[in-house]
Every structure is written in C-alpha cells, then in structure tokens.
Amino acid sequence: MSLENFLKKQISQQGPISIAEFMQLALMHPQYGYYQKQQPFGETGDFITAPEISQMFGEMVGVWVASIWQQLGCPKDFCLLELGPGRGVLMDDVLRATKHLDGFHKCVSVVMVEQSAALQQKQKERLNPWNINIHWLSTAEKLPRKPTIVIANEFFDALPIHQFIKTPQGIREKLVGLDNHSLEFVLSSANASFSYLAHWQEQIEMNQVIETSPASIHVMEQLAEHISQMGGAGLFIDYGYEMPAFGDTLQAVKNHKYHEVLKDIGEADITAHVNFTALAEAAKFTGCKQQQVISQKDFLKNMGIEVRAKELLKKANAKQKLSIESSLHRLIGDAEMGKLFKVLMVA
Ligand code: SAH
C-alpha cells in the first residue's frame, strides 16, 4: 500500500487529521516516510543544505562550538549533540575544524539525535573514521548528564506544525481530509482552542493563517532545561521568521522544485518555516539566560567565514576558486541564504 492509500483509509475511517499528524507520517512513517527511504540531499536528491554547499559552513559552526567549550572552562567530559544530522556532513566538518584544538577531541562525546534508520546508517559510515565516542538516539529525551553543546541545521523545519485560519465563524484548524476520494485541505467544524492562539488572535486578519509547532516547542524545552541544569549552549539554524508574522509556510520540494503538499506523499520533502520567537521564548521560560536571533550572514561573518574563504582561495585552482566564491555567496548573500536563514543561540 502507498502512503497516500494508507492515509485515505485512515481518514475515511476516523475523519480528517491535523497537518501535524500528516507531516509526521509523510516524513517519518517507519516504512513509507520520506526520511526513511529517500536520499533527499545533494545535487541528485531533492534539496541542498548549507553543510552540503560548502565545508566552510561546518567549519564556522566548529569555531562557535570551540569558543563555547572554552567559555565553559574546557570541561573534561562534555557532550556535543546534533539534532537531525542528515548525511553527517556538518558533524564531520565540526570534528575536522576542532581536531587541533588542544584536548577537545579527548573530552568530547558526540550524540546524534536521528529518527531515520536509513540516515543513522549514513551518518555512522561517514563518522566511523573518527576515533571518538559517538552514539545515536532517536529523541532528545534522555541526554547524558554532562555539559552539552547543541547544534542543529534545518532540523526544526521538519517538525510537525498545526495551521489555523481566521474565518467569520472563528478560528478553525486546517486539516487533511477527503473530498471525492482525493486528499484535500478542510477546516475543522469547531473553533480551535490552542492556548498559543489566544495570544495572537486579535492581530490575525480575516482569512490569514497562523502556524504553531508544539513538537518544536517540546524539543526546545527539553534541550533548554538540560542546558540550564548541566551548563552549555545551543545553536539552531533554519529558514524562519520572528513574530508577529502570519501566513501559510507549509511547502513541499521534490527534485529542487516546489511540489504540491498533498501529492506524492513520502516522495517529497515537506517543511514549514521556523518560528524563532516561539523557540526563543520556550528557551527563556525553561531557564536559559541568553537567547539571541541573528541572520545566517551575520553569524557566519562573525565566525570569520570571509577570512576562511580568502585562505582557501590562496591554495585553489581556477575551478575551485569559482566554487568557493559561489558557495560563499550562497551562504551569506542577502538574496540567497544570508538573510532568510536565521540563527538562534541560547546559553
Ligand atoms: N542537518 C542536515 C539535515 C537536515 S534534514 C543538513 O543540514 O544537511 C532534517 C533532518 O532531521 C534529517 O536528518 C531527518 O531525518 C531529521 N529529523 C526529522 N524529524 C526528526 C525528528 N522528529 N527527530 C529526529 N530527527 C528528525
């Protein structure tokens, strides 16, 4: 059975499901989910992420990780945690960038939080050469009781969201239902009652969509509580916005092109933009003293990406030069990832 037929059967028996439930199944169904079976990344996949664009991205994250470790007083036994590590490229580059930092590799134990068995396998293959203690978890629930430095790139955008829309009858939830045997977006028949909505409902205009991701908030609360108890910091990079910003950001991508969300379920990536204000507030309420949101451009420049690019250019041939320059532009250009992608740092 395809995932589409599985969903149709479930909806015809039990009624429409939330967009959150739909996303969770489309991305993570143990058999049919997108991340369980596809090879999403790179030129031949569906999309390219920053660590896959250039090694410089992971190196700059490495600079940040190293500086946090030093600010923590170089703890002898600490955890470097990555959420949603994809093919493991970012962690590989961070470990390479910190290789010569005295004591770092001796003191670090790496934890990878990954729900997809197929991607866990890919990550193991890539990181196997490092002589470091690395282990895998499927959720961030039970973390080692040590100072912890967390990194995550394009993780929160894959977590399920709910969508609501303001109608003349009140605020209704957008659901996935059936219309004439095909999957369609429908509205809940009763008014929605999420506490998050109460805060914003005056500001939403008629027919506007508002999104919320309780799953993201839950993960951020777990991490922030852990960091505030054990010491540490977190770096979260994603395509996203700060409130108040309303609108429908749910999107599917297949072969580097936008795709209809309800078509080819399990064959296309589905994401939503990340609400950085909500994540920062969750970190604050759970005890993290610092929360700061800046653009990817500012973050990478602060960490020295332009200096690093210059250094790499010195040793590069003509073809490599072009590639270094174009990837630098993709990562920090205002009309590229530089402004759209944001970085939340909590400590
Ligand atoms: N960070 C990588 C990959 C981003 S894609 C990069 O930048 O290239 C999203 C990643 O998050 C994938 O590895 C996916 O399997 C993982 N993921 C998605 N939902 C998850 C969840 N609920 N728990 C753990 N990992 C998840």
CB-side neighbour CA atoms (13 Å) of 92 = 17
How far apart CA 226 and CA 239 sit, in angstroms, is 25
Q: What is the pLDDT along the chain (347 residues), one digit of tens a residue?
A: 799 999 999 999 999 999 999 999 999 999 899 999 778 888 889 999 999 999 999 999 999 999 999 999 999 999 999 999 999 999 999 999 999 999 999 999 999 999 999 999 999 999 999 999 999 999 999 999 999 999 999 999 999 999 999 999 999 999 999 999 999 999 999 888 878 888 888 899 999 999 999 999 999 999 999 999 999 999 999 999 999 889 999 999 999 999 999 999 999 999 999 999 999 999 999 999 899 999 999 999 999 999 999 999 999 999 999 999 999 999 999 999 999 999 999 99
What span, in angstroms and rounded, lies between the C-alpha atoms of 197 and 341? 25
DSSP per-residue letters across 132-147: SEEEEESSSSS--SS-
| Cβ atoms of 152 and 82 closer than 8 Å | yes
Please report how the helices 55-71 and 305-314 are oriented relative to each other, as an axis angle in degrees rounded to 10: 130
Is residue 93 within 6 Å of ligand 1 at its C-beta? no
155 lines ligand 1 (CB under 6 A): yes
At 195 the pLDDT is 80
pLDDT at 1: 77
Whether 33 is in the pocket of ligand 1, judged by its Cβ within 6 Å, is: no
Q: Which residue in this structure is represented by tokens 């499901």?
A: 17
- For ligand 1, the distance from its centroid to the CA atom of residue 198, given in whole angstroms, is 31
What pLDDT is recorded for position 39? 80
Q: Tell me, using a 6 A CB cutoff, whether residue 24 lines ligand 1.
A: no
Question: What is the rounded distance in angstroms from the CA atom of residue 258 to the CA atom of residue 250?
Answer: 11
**95 CA to centre of ligand 1 in angstroms:** 19
Instruction: Tokens 């992420």: give the residue.
Output: 49
Q: Is 255 left (phi over 0), alpha (psi -120 to 50) or beta?
A: left
Alpha carbon nearest to ligand 1 atom 26, residue: 84
Task: Calculate how far, in angstroms, residue 213's C-alpha sits from the geometric centre of ligand 1.
Answer: 16
- pTM of the predicted structure, to 2 decimals: 0.97
CA distance 267 to 246: 28
Q: Helix or strand or coil: residue 241?
A: strand
Residue 114 CB less than 6 A away from ligand 1: yes
- Give the pair of three-digit tokens for residue 113: 């939080």
153 pocket-lining for ligand 1 (C-beta < 6 Å): yes
Residue 217 CA to residue 275 CA, distance in Å, equals 10
**For the CA of 35, the nearest atom of ligand 1:** 15
Q: From ligand 1's centre to the CA of 33, what distance in Å?
A: 12
**211 DSSP β-pair partners:** 163
The CA 229 to ligand 1 mean position distance, Å, reads 25
> What's the pLDDT at 119?
95
Compute, in angstroms, the gap from residue 132 CA to the centroid of ligand 1. Answer: 22
For ligand 1, say whether the CB of 86 is within 6 Å of any of its atoms: yes
